[in-house]
């Protein structure tokens, strides 16, 4: 089976600080992507750059800040971006296809399945899918975080082997290297901890929207789904294949997880929790390390208005997020049985389809 690679390229790698496409950069990336295909990889591209490519063309003196202005710039820039990619890839006899997605596409599991089947068919036909967020119809401002999150979701959805996130910095550093020249690059991250997050800075350029923190968020999603992730910078011929050989100029994020089922992806990263449950120490241990379900006896408090079948977030008594799950009780019903053992629950609730508040099969842990 062909190894599947998702490559994400940020705005700062494709455009100039003043706006507009860098045709030489696009030609370089097209050659590198074609090179990966010639080595036998299946390649998907997640690209940013529509707003940055379009705002000068539409007449804005600088990158717009208002949502409707960004949407207008994206409408112009997306066409320019795809035209540039198609022309650059055609030099290498590589056909390409445009796919525009929004977060709502991922929130709807049927639409996610449809997108997956279409992309699989393109790959089967040796067409390189070029994926971007549909900024023109997005209701929130570029909500995928410069497409870092989008690339991780695509990598998980298509069960990729590797996710390569390319940006204008060569990986994660112990401190900001622009401020402290003594900062050291972290070559390998085997676990994404609070400390890793604490050293992530803000956005690195004026043309992009994603900083290192959004890339760590993406790495967390990818590695949880069994995808190894690289974050770094490539500028020379042959550097993209070198990334897959472990010699890339950047930071590697290892994974110890198996491929995450599509339902768990949706539950953990795309669903909208409608309530919050606070659990005691015993329930926390059972959920995180015991592989067990959440019972009413372990729930201390419940907030929000929800119904059986909705998604809720679960926190510990320090308000740290433990994970998400699909609840089996309405919010009003749950208030009657908080903290009660199962024998008492049966007495108080007339119709109990499942004793568990959240069954272990309907749960995903999100704690670092």
DSSP type of residue 245: T
267 by DSSP, 3-state: which?
helix
Segment (H or E) for 355 = none
Instruction: Assign domain 272-365 one CATH number from 3.40.50.300, 2.30.130.10, 1.10.10.10, 3.40.50.1100.
Output: 2.30.130.10
Antiparallel, parallel or unpaired: β 275-279 and 311-315: parallel
Q: What residues does each domain of the chain span?
A: 4-264, 272-365
The CATH fold assigned to 4-264 is Carbamate kinase (3.40.1160)
pLDDT at 354 (0 to 100): 80
CA distances from 254 to 152, 213, 266, 309, 327 (A): 14, 17, 22, 34, 32
| 327: nearest Cα among 344, 342, 307, 346 | 307
CB 243 within 8 A of CB 234: yes
Q: Which residue spans within 209-286 are E strands per DSSP?
A: 228-232, 250-253, 275-279
Full DSSP string of 15-69: B-TTSSB-HHHHHHHHHHHHHHHHTT-EEEEEE--HHHHHTTTTT-SS---SHHH
The bridge status of strand 228-232 relative to strand 250-253 is antiparallel
What is the tens place of the pLDDT at every residue in 239-294? 999 999 999 999 999 987 767 777 888 888 878 899 999 999 999 999 999 999 99
Reported as a pLDDT band with limits 50, 70 and 90, residue 204 is: very low
Q: 164, 243 in Cβ contact below 8 A?
A: yes
pLDDT digits (tens, 9 = 90+) for 107-125: 777 888 899 999 999 999 9
CA distances from 127 to 9, 43, 50, 99, 122 (A): 18, 9, 21, 12, 5
CA distance 91 to 27: 9
Cα–Cα distance, 155 to 148 (Å, whole number): 11
The 10s digit of each residue's pLDDT in 56-105 is 898 898 888 888 898 899 999 999 999 999 999 999 999 999 999 988 78
Same fold: 4-264 with 272-365:
no
Q: How far apart are CA 2 and CA 241, in angstroms?
A: 15
The pTM of this model reads: 0.84
pLDDT at 33 over 80: yes
């Amino acid at each position: 089976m062909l190894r599947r690679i998702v490559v994400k390229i940020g705005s700062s790698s494709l455009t100039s600080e003043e706006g507009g496409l860098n045709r030489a950069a696009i030609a370089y990336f097209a050659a590198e992507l074609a090179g990966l295909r010639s080595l036998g990889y299946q390649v998907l591209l997640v690209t940013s750059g529509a707003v940055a490519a379009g705002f000068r063309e539409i007449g804005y003196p600088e990158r717009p800040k208002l949502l409707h202005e960004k949407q207008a710039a994206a409408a112009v820039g997306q066409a320019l971006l795809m035209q540039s990619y198609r022309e650059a890839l055609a030099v290498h006899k590589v056909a390409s296809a445009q796919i525009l997605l929004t977060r709502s596409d991922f929130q709807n599991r049927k639409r996610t399945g449809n997108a997956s089947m279409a992309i699989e068919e393109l790959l089967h036909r040796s067409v390189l899918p070029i994926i971007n967020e549909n900024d023109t119809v997005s209701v929130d401002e570029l909500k995928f975080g410069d497409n870092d999150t989008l690339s991780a979701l695509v990598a998980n959805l298509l069960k990729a082997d590797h996710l390569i996130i390319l940006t204008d910095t060569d990986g994660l550093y112990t401190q900001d290297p622009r401020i402290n020249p003594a900062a050291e690059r972290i070559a390998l991250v085997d676990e994404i901890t609070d400390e890793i997050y604490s050293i992530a800075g803000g956005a690195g350029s004026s043309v992009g929207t994603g900083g290192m923190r959004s890339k760590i968020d993406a790495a967390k999603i990818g590695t949880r789904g069994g995808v190894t992730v690289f974050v770094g910078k490539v500028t020379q011929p042959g550097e993209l294949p070198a990334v897959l050989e472990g010699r890339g100029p950047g930071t590697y994020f290892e994974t110890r997880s198996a491929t995450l089922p599509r339902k768990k992806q949706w539950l953990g990263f795309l669903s909208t929790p409608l309530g919050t449950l606070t659990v005691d120490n015993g329930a926390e241990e059972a959920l995180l390390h015991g592989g067990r379900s959440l019972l009413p006896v372990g729930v201390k408090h419940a907030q929000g208005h929800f119904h059986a079948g909705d998604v809720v977030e679960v926190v510990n008594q320090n308000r740290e997020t433990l994970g998400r799950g699909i609840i089996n009780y309405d919010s009003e019903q749950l208030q009657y049985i908080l903290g009660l053992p199962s024998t008492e629950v049966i007495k108080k609730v007339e119709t109990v389809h499942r004793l568990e508040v959240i069954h272990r099969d309907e749960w995903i842990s999100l704690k670092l």
